[in-house]
Chains A and B, each alone.
Chain A
Amino acid sequence: MNEIKEAFWLSHQIVQMEIHAPDIADKRKAGQFVVLMTDERGERIPLTIVDSDVKKGTITIIFQVVGKTTTCLADMKKGDCLFSVLGPLGKPTEIENFGNVVCVGGGVGIGVIYPIARALKDAGNEVTSIIGARTKDILILESEMRAASNRLLVATDDGSYGFHGFVSQVLQSLIDEGERIDRVFAIGPVPMMRVICTVTRPFDIKTIVSLNPIMVDATGMCGACRVAVGGETKLACVDGPEFDGHQVDFDLLTDRLRMYYFQEKEAVESYRCRCNGK
């Protein structure tokens, strides 16, 4: 049984959870994810493994409440059990000593990039991290990211903390200042990853992004997660989730993420009713 060992809010929309899953804790590597179900009638949703504790046999996830499943998950408490947790899935991040790397995380994507930044630093890279959020209150993992990086830069859209503007602007200024950057890792909302790729493309800086298409089985069986990379169709769950951002068709990803827009709304409403009925 996958018991929730710890659960708390990092911001008013983002929850951190520790889940009992010893086999996964044992094997997981940076960049990999799990698929979980809250209950038997639930949907299978993918969430990145942010951290693990082999001794305690737990994994850590950080998620933003956006729809039915994440709302329901956020309602679960320490001591509750999840219906299922499958993992680790996906290819681990390719970690080497690249030299100077920049890790860009936006919103809940900071949680996803955190284990990658750590692994890159452990591998001897000089890690600069740029993290951003709409406003100061919802910026997560600042101290963790500081510890995982050689240098941390912060941006908020509204200027309430750090640089006033977007993470892409911070990256642009590093490039403009002539810093040598060997590789960029960018994880966050699709528009953010797209802009980061636009910034790095003219300078030919290899940019790795982590794609979040809708998934079902996440084992390469269904094709729900297909994305186009370099004109070829790939399955994000087994060929990814990380790809060369300069090759990714972000328009397709955006369209495919909207496939169930109306049903998702209906599901949240129906869940709220189910909960109120309790």
Chain B
Amino acid sequence: MNHTGADAMENKKKREIKSRQIMPEQDPLVRRSNFEEVPLGFTEEQAIIEASRCLHCKKPLCVSGCPVDVDIPGFIKLISEEKYMDAARAIKETNSLPAVCGRVCPQEAQCEKYCILGKKQDPVAIGRLERFAADYERNAGDIKIPEISENTGKKVAVVGAGPAGLTIAGDLVKKGHKVTIFEGLHKAGGVLIYGIPEFRLPKAIVDAEVEYLVRLGVEIRTNVVIGRGKTVDDLFEEGFNAVFLGVGAGAPVFMDIPGENLGGIYSANEYLTRSNLMKAYRFPEYDTPIALGKEVAVLGGGNVAMDSVRTALRLGANNAYIVYRRTEAEMPARGEEIHHAKEEGVKFKYLTAPIEYIGDDKGWVRQMRCIQMELGEPDDSGRRRPVPVPGSEFIIDVDMVVVAIGTMANPVVPATTPGLDTNRWGYIATRDETGETSRKGVYAGGDIVTGSATVILAMGAAKKAAKAIDEYLKR
């Protein structure tokens, strides 16, 4: 018999379902001047109530919305039974970074979007429950080391320690392979460390995940950029049997308009790297400086733009603007991030695009000349294309600008790996879902294949590549 979510809904109709629990958050007026995490997490009591809302559908639609097939009803049931450690372990069966995903996954577009409860009321707060279980396990300090298969004698090199690289390293080490991660920066974590701010993802969580991999036996070598010095070919020569490329889409994109190299104009990558990786928000306790803009414009409408603008507020901006060339409806950022930004006092200037920057005699940006846009015909992405309104130019006074309009592939690895095919945007071409590239024994996954996407998609790609590499090594 086919039990769909709808059937379950029918069966349980009589049961009264409580309303979705609200996670406590730091007061917007307080948090806009600190870097501590904004949402505070469910209490145990709340988690139990929220877990009890789940209908335990026989054919859970939520799971089909999850890129790594977490057994959602399963772990939620364990939470409702107060078996939190078991719940965390159940998630970890398929998702190695639940404390991260519980915080940054766009659940509203994934699992929660399909939750059957969502048809009539609010869906189960799956992400928050995931976060609760993972935090519980971490705080209990009793993180179990899973069973590791017998050593296969095979060596795998993982390039890049972002979500993709960390995930595949965990999967392959458990299969008994020797895994070494090479990371260009001095700290592992990828975007989780250098991009996403502390107030959205505390770095201690990422550190704990990296520490866990080390305990599993993964070797992490930081300060090694593959393609500078050591190349992919060198790795094979050193005796690695397979290589996974999880190098992300880390190169900055600028708009190429006059004045863009003035002082005070950052790429989001630089601004966030200074603040997060180098901890410039704690200057001079940490050495790396960062500009403290008072009138700050952030260009773009994605998560990266929201992270940048909220960072600028916390660093003392009087006015922090999102300048976006379309309208709120087209903004790619998560609803939650936009909502948080608004609560904190970020101002939004829609249908606006900069065309020139004007600096002072010291070469520092002082003004931004903008033009008003209107929405025209839909473009390739299906969103209506913004077109400039003639004669609508105006000036915004600024003393800092963050350009957060996207990133592109960093050419270092493809350029130094003969025979590695890329597509026309420079992303690494893969044969299929396994991440197999045009080079034998070389696999790739995450942002370097798809372009900037999400943590969970990078992890999903890594999981598939882990399977494929394991099979390849057994051949």
Chain A contact residues, CB within 8 Å of chain B? 23-24, 26-28, 37, 41-44, 68-69, 83-89, 216-217, 219-224, 226, 228, 233, 238, 251-252, 255-256, 258-260, 263-264, 266-267, 270-271
**Chain A residues positioned under 8 Å from B274 (CB to CB):** 216
With both beta carbons as reference points, the residue of chain A lying nearest to B267 in the complex is identified as A223
Nearest CB in chain B: distance from A90 CB, A? 8
Task: Give Cα A85 to B222, complex, Å.
Answer: 10
Identify B256's interface contact among A233, A267, A270, CB under 8 A: A233
Task: Give Cα A228 to B184, complex, Å.
Answer: 26
Given A37-B186, A86-B184, A221-B410, A255-B362 contact (CB < 8 Å): yes
Contact, CB under 8 Å: B285 / A222: no
Task: Give Cα A69 to B288, complex, Å.
Answer: 10
How would you classify the secondary structure of chain B's contact residues: helix, strand, loop or mixed?
Answer: loop
Contact, CB under 8 Å: A221 / B261: no
Contact, CB under 8 Å: A219 / B267: no
**Chain B residues positioned under 8 Å from A221 (CB to CB):** 250-252, 269, 273, 410
Nearest CB in chain B: distance from A71 CB, A? 11
Identify A23's interface contact among B229, B270, B285, B289, CB under 8 A: B229
**Chain B residues positioned under 8 Å from A89 (CB to CB):** 225, 228
B335 within 8 A of A: no
Contact, CB under 8 Å: A226 / B289: no
Identify B228's interface contact among A219, A228, A267, CB under 8 A: A219
Contact, CB under 8 Å: B289 / A260: yes
- Give the 7 A-B CB pairs with smallest separation, nearest first: A255-B363, A263-B289, A222-B270, A223-B267, A223-B252, A270-B284, A43-B287
Nearest CB in chain B: distance from A35 CB, A? 8
Task: Give Cα A138 to B264, complex, Å.
Answer: 35
Task: Give Cα A263 to B291, complex, Å.
Answer: 9
**Binary contact readout B259-275 vs A (1 if CB under 8 angstroms, 0 otherwise):** 01111101101100110
Known: A84-B223, A221-B251. 5 other contacts (CB 8 A): A24-B229, A89-B228, A219-B228, A221-B273, A233-B260
Contact, CB under 8 Å: B261 / A222: no
Contact, CB under 8 Å: A267 / B273: no
**Chain A residues positioned under 8 Å from B260 (CB to CB):** 233
**Chain B residues positioned under 8 Å from A252 (CB to CB):** 261, 363
Within 8 A of A (CB), among B181-238: 184-186, 222-225, 228-230
* B contacts with A, residue count (CB < 8 A): 42
With both beta carbons as reference points, the residue of chain A lying nearest to B283 in the complex is identified as A263
Task: Give Cα A258 to B364, complex, Å.
Answer: 10
With both beta carbons as reference points, the residue of chain B lying nearest to A38 in the complex is identified as B287
Contact, CB under 8 Å: B230 / A23: yes
Contact, CB under 8 Å: A88 / B229: yes
With both beta carbons as reference points, the residue of chain B lying nearest to A2 in the complex is identified as B223
With both beta carbons as reference points, the residue of chain A lying nearest to B288 in the complex is identified as A43
Contact, CB under 8 Å: B279 / A41: yes
**Chain A residues positioned under 8 Å from B222 (CB to CB):** 84
B286 within 8 A of A: yes
Task: Give Cα A86 to B286, complex, Å.
Answer: 20
Given A219-B412, A221-B250, A42-B223 contact (CB < 8 Å): no
Contact, CB under 8 Å: A86 / B186: yes
**Chain A residues positioned under 8 Å from B278 (CB to CB):** 43-44, 216
Task: Give Cα A249 to B264, complex, Å.
Answer: 18
Given A219-B184, A260-B289, A266-B284, A27-B229 contact (CB < 8 Å): yes
Q: List 11 A-B contacts (CB under 8 A).
A: A28-B229, A41-B279, A44-B278, A86-B224, A88-B228, A217-B273, A219-B412, A223-B266, A224-B270, A233-B260, A259-B364
**Chain B residues positioned under 8 Å from A217 (CB to CB):** 184-185, 273
Chain B contact residues, CB within 8 Å of chain A? 184-186, 222-225, 228-230, 250-252, 254, 256, 260-264, 266-267, 269-270, 273-274, 278-279, 283-289, 291, 362-364, 410-412
**Chain B residues positioned under 8 Å from A27 (CB to CB):** 229-230
Identify A220's interface contact among B185, B230, B412, CB under 8 A: B412
Nearest CB in chain A: distance from B314 CB, A? 17
Task: Give Cα A37 to B254, complex, Å.
Answer: 28
Task: Give Cα A239 to B435, complex, Å.
Answer: 30
**Chain A residues positioned under 8 Å from B289 (CB to CB):** 260, 263-264, 267
Identify B229's interface contact among A44, A87, A251, A255, CB under 8 A: A87
Contact, CB under 8 Å: A84 / B186: yes
**Chain B residues positioned under 8 Å from A224 (CB to CB):** 270
Task: Give Cα A125 to B410, complex, Å.
Answer: 36
**Chain B residues positioned under 8 Å from A42 (CB to CB):** 287
**Chain B residues positioned under 8 Å from A86 (CB to CB):** 184, 186, 223-225
**Chain B residues positioned under 8 Å from A44 (CB to CB):** 186, 278, 288
Contact, CB under 8 Å: B273 / A216: yes
Given A41-B279, A219-B228, A222-B269, A256-B287 contact (CB < 8 Å): no
Task: Give Cα A224 to B270, complex, Å.
Answer: 6
Contact, CB under 8 Å: A259 / B291: yes
Task: Give Cα A149 to B284, complex, Å.
Answer: 44
Given A220-B412, A221-B252, A267-B284 contact (CB < 8 Å): yes
Identify A41's interface contact among B267, B287, B411, CB under 8 A: B287
Task: Give Cα A216 to B279, complex, Å.
Answer: 12
Nearest CB in chain B: distance from A67 CB, A? 9
**Chain A residues positioned under 8 Å from B224 (CB to CB):** 23, 86
With both beta carbons as reference points, the residue of chain A lying nearest to B256 in the complex is identified as A233
Task: Give Cα A161 to B283, complex, Å.
Answer: 43
Nearest CB in chain A: distance from B446 CB, A? 15
Contact, CB under 8 Å: B263 / A259: yes
Interface core residue of A43, A222, A266, A271 (most chain B CB under 10 Å): A222
With both beta carbons as reference points, the residue of chain B lying nearest to A85 in the complex is identified as B223
Contact, CB under 8 Å: B410 / A220: yes
With both beta carbons as reference points, the residue of chain B lying nearest to A88 in the complex is identified as B229
Task: Give Cα A23 to B291, complex, Å.
Answer: 35
Nearest CB in chain A: distance from B209 CB, A? 19
With both beta carbons as reference points, the residue of chain B lying nearest to A23 in the complex is identified as B229
Contact, CB under 8 Å: A41 / B285: yes
Contact, CB under 8 Å: A222 / B223: no
Nearest CB in chain A: distance from B328 CB, A? 28
**Chain B residues positioned under 8 Å from A26 (CB to CB):** 229
With both beta carbons as reference points, the residue of chain B lying nearest to A214 in the complex is identified as B289
With both beta carbons as reference points, the residue of chain A lying nearest to B221 in the complex is identified as A23
Task: Give Cα A43 to B286, complex, Å.
Answer: 8
Given A233-B256, A258-B362, A220-B251 contact (CB < 8 Å): yes
